Amino acid sequence: MERERNAWVMASEAERQEIEALGRKYIKFLNRAKTERETVSYLREKLKKKDFVDLKDLNELRPGQRVFINHKGKAAVAAVIGEKPFIEGFNIVASHTDTPRLDLKPVPLYEDAGMALFKTHYYGGIKKYQWPALPLSMHGIVVKKRGEKIEINIGEDEDDPVFTITDLLIHLAKDQMEKKMSEGITGEDLNVLVGSLPLEPGPEKDKIKAAIKKILQERYNIEDEDFSSAEIQMVPAMKAREVGFDRSLIGGYGQDDRVCVFTSFRALLDVSVPSRTAICVFADKEEIGSVGNTGLRSFLLENAVIDLMNKNGHADYYQVMLALRNSYALSADVNGALDPNYEGAFDKRNSSIIGQGVALTKYTGSRGKVESNDANPEYLARIRRLFDDHGVAWQVGELGKVDQGGGGTVAYLLSRYGMEVVDCGPALLGMHSPFEVAAKADIYAAYKAYRVFMQEFE
């Protein structure tokens, strides 16, 4: 008989309750953390409550000690110290905090045709046509010339206003509808409506822009030029919700990759004195190639390991690299679930199915696995056994048909150290859309996979 594959059916009655409880917490998290900064601030707050201490405040590390490193407020590392010396390696789960969105340009505000608007520059892989005709909220920070930081979060409260990008009325869309989908809405068309009331009495020209400037100044202490030292993101203002008559799914923005951030963080909370030190990496900038000093292409991970190792005596380059080489990792990122609406894009026999557990993905990449980490079968076999031994619902994943496109994760960056690494995360429907969908049972399977990996994998 073929083994049961549905993660919900595989779960015990007690586990079904855990699936629901985790889902409820996850929805709250998604509604609170819509940017990398909000994600890191959520993690800091929750980790502190669970006895994780800022590594800076410790002089020595003992087995069982729980620590975190906040990296510029946009990335973070958290760890539970294990019994073995660091040099024998870590069990690492690496996810990413950033999500596709629309960033404001440095000179965003202008007036046209009775409206004030903001110019945007999209971040990461988006289908531009998905962004008009949605309520949008505004998140981020503005740093004043003297260093004062102003936090922006407008559009999440029921009483807040929202913003939007208007779409062209169908009545006049003849030319637009004949364009390719990639050209129907262009990057420069993604301008956000932010107001329409003129200043009175005011200047002859740009009275509406002047009125918005006044509001920004009076209410938020933001001057026009302050946008040049700001990071402001427009994201969907919709709340995450349960989906389906049976409430088995969760829909919401930013699940790639906050589903892995959340599940790996929850898993780490439940790890106690592991054999090898357990580390969660929450990296930024994955969606644009892991670049910048908060992305995993930087020395973020080495620096975290040096900081850890130096707490117990001076660590040299050899020791740091040896510890990393001796490590094992799960690259915690999402895969695309088989979607019957777009069957032609998938290889049915090799795609992940929603609700069938966490996906183990040997390779990603495109045009013949280009730029993917191609996990070693010796390591994959050990992970399979670990998951089967601990009742983790898992399935294989491959991102769609061979020549259909592709994508990447941080796996290849971790593999540079010589550590074993494989991609492992839930499969989503509508990945990178403003409303991505995951199955509750898969979210729980990811949590369990990361927990048993960090706690048990030897």
| Interface with Mn ion (CB under 5 A) | 256-257, 333
Report the sign of the C-alpha dihedral through residues 182, 184, 189, 194, in that order.
negative
Confirm if 75 and 35 have CB atoms less than 8 A apart: no
Q: Between 189 and 257, whose beta carbon lies closer to Mn ion? A: 257
C-beta of 333 vs 339, nearer to Mn ion: 333
Smallest separation (angstroms) from Mn ion to the CB of 258: 9
User: Do the Cβ atoms of 36 and 98 come closer than 8 Å?
Assistant: yes
C-alpha angle 15-44-71 in degrees, rounded to nearest 5: 120
Q: Cα(182)–Cα(179) distance, rounded to whole angstroms?
A: 8
Residues 6+ apart with CB under 8 A from 447: 22, 263, 264, 266, 267
| Minimal distance, residue 35 CB to Mn ion, in Å | 15
Which run of H or of E encompasses 219? helix 207-220
| C-beta of 308 vs 439, nearer to Mn ion | 439
Q: How far is the CB of 27 from Mn ion (least distance, A)?
A: 20
Local structure of residue 446 (DSSP, 8 states): H
**Number of C-beta neighbours around residue 236 at 10 A:** 21
Q: If we measure between CA atoms, which residue out of 442, 454, 425 comes closest to residue 269? A: 454
Query: Between 15 and 333, whose beta carbon lies closer to Mn ion?
Result: 333
Which residue has 């929750």 as its token pair?
A: 46
Considering the complex, what minimum distance in angstroms separates the CB of residue 77 from Mn ion?
18
> Measured in whole angstroms, how far is the alpha carbon of residue 354 from the centre of its chain?
19
Closest separation in Å from C-beta 286 to Mn ion: 6
**Token pair 């026009």 in the structure block, residue:** 224
**Alpha carbon distances (Å) from 292 to 54, 169, 234, 280, 299:** 23, 40, 21, 20, 10
CB nearer to Mn ion: give 36 or 257.
257
Cα–Cα distance, 103 to 140 (Å, whole number): 9
Residue nearest to Mn ion (CB): 257
Q: How far is the CB of 248 from Mn ion (least distance, A)?
A: 23
Question: In which residue are the tokens 């700001």 written?
Answer: 230
Nearer to Mn ion, 38 or 423 (CB): 423
Q: Which is nearer to Mn ion, 206 or 256 (CB)?
A: 256
Q: Is 138 helix (H, G, I), strand (E, B) or coil?
A: strand
Q: How far is the CB of 174 from Mn ion (least distance, A)?
A: 34
Alpha-carbon gap, residue 91 to 323, rounded angstroms = 11
Q: CA 257, CA 262: separation in Å to the nearest integer? A: 9
Nearer to Mn ion, 36 or 256 (CB): 256
Distance of closest approach, residue 412 Cβ to Mn ion, in angstroms: 13
Our CB check for Mn ion shows the closer of 255 and 351 to be: 255
- 8-state DSSP, 59: S
Q: Cα(184)–Cα(192) distance, rounded to whole angstroms?
A: 17
Nearer to Mn ion, 94 or 211 (CB): 94
Q: How far apart are CA 290 and CA 75, in angstroms?
A: 11
CB of 416 to Mn ion, least distance (A): 19
> Closest separation between CB of residue 290 and Mn ion, Å?
10
- Least Å distance, CB 31 to Mn ion, is 20
Residue 335 near residue 358 (C-beta atoms within 8 A): no
Residue the block writes with tokens 């989908």: 181
Measured from the CB atom, the residue of 326 and 433 that comes closer to Mn ion is: 433
**3-class secondary structure, 323:** helix
